Amino acid sequence: MQRSVWLSAGLSITLLFWGFGSDQIRRAMASPQHRTRISREFPHPTDMSTIQSIAEEDEQHPDVALVERVRGGDVSAYDELVRKYERQIFRIAQHITQNREDAEDVMQDAFLKAYEKLDQFQGNAKFYTWLVRIAVNESLMRLRKRRTGKMVSIDEDLETEEGSVPRDLADWAPDPEQNYNQSELAEILRKTIQGLPQGFRVVFALRDVEGLSTEETAETLGLSVPAVKSRLLRARLQLRERLSRYFKKKTGQAVPQEAGLN
Amino acid sequence: MTCTEFIALLDDLIDNSVASSIRTEIETHMHECEHCEVVFNTTRKTIEIYRAHDIYELPNDLRERLHSAIMSRCKNGC
């Protein structure tokens, strides 16, 4: 028998370690998908005091109760679930389809499909991850329609080796995003991530932007954990390389060609 | 440790999941190699910028419209 524990304190320590501000931590803490989940087994089924102490530590994810209410016929509970995740689902659909109208359709279809299939949702899975899987599939189907039936998968366009070895080794300006206004920055970030191969972009979007764990990303996309890790590294390096054009120090000296990585 | 070996461990370092047995070696390399330190800092910054800026923001009026459409279809049995 397994129980899950949500570790919020550990997350804030990690975020603080990596230089996240308190506002960002609050945002991350407010989103359950940014929490780290671990599983463990009960040490011994007859040790009641241990079971009780673990049960007190355990915290049922609030989505489980909402799903139960929906199953019992309470549509307003589904309203809460939609409101909670609509922004994320829209963003994921945009990342995959790269088309605003498609993302709107995917968002609606994903929530409707999830509602229809709620009986198939296993209570031990995370509702958000389950919903993301539906949204990813809907997005890929939408792409397929747009490409007149051609198969679309998250494996395409992965042959490129671009960005696997960092080439631009110039340091960035401190707070480089301050050199652009909000709309310029958003345009740079969109253009940059849209240039990634689909299979890298979706891994980066789920893992780094939406905060799914490596395991959840793998499960959602039907990939192995090593495949997710490999794609994530290449996605991060390619994005870094491309953003360097905009963010590196303007007055910095060029790095001599022979002084690259060993 | 070479730079190539360092890059292979970059994600673990960013995600704070480096095995303790090689953490010192990695940190020593980064301390001595300016380029790897730049790659580490700028990759971490890349992730931070994408997390901090919602590039596909859902405007409130559109969100309300889509939300209402979803809920009305749910109430009517989809």
Task: Point out the residue among B16, B73, B74 whose CB comes nearest to the CB of A17.
Answer: B16
**Shortest CA distance from A245: residue in chain B:** B42
Average pLDDT over residues A161-173: 79
**What percent of chain A stands above pLDDT 70?**
67
Give percent of chain A above pLDDT 90. Answer: 55
For residue A214, what pLDDT band results from cuts at 50, 70 and 90? very high
Tens of pLDDT, residue by residue over B16-55, are: 999 999 999 999 999 999 999 999 999 999 999 999 999 9
- Nearest CB among A91, A172, A229 relative to B11 is that of A229
In this predicted structure, which of A185-199, A246-260, B39-53 has the lowest mean pLDDT?
A246-260
Residues 6+ apart with CB under 8 A from A259: A169, B35
In A44-73, the residues whose Cβ lies within 8 Å of chain B are none
Interface contacts (A, B; CB < 8 Å): 134
- The answer, yes or no, to whether residue A93 has pLDDT greater than 90, is yes
Nearest residue in A to B46, CA atom: A240
pTM beyond 0.80: the answer is no
* Interface test mutation site (partner A, options B4, B34, B38, max chain A beta carbons within 10 A): B38
Among the listed residues A152, A242, A237, A244, the one whose alpha carbon sits nearest the alpha carbon of residue A199: A152
pLDDT at A261: 72
Kindly determine whether residue A112 and residue B70, on different chains, have CB atoms separated by under 8 Å.
Answer: yes
Contact A236 B3 (CB under 8 A): no
Chain B within 8 Å of A74 (Cβ-Cβ)? no
ipTM over 0.95: no
What is the average per-residue pLDDT within A211-231? 94
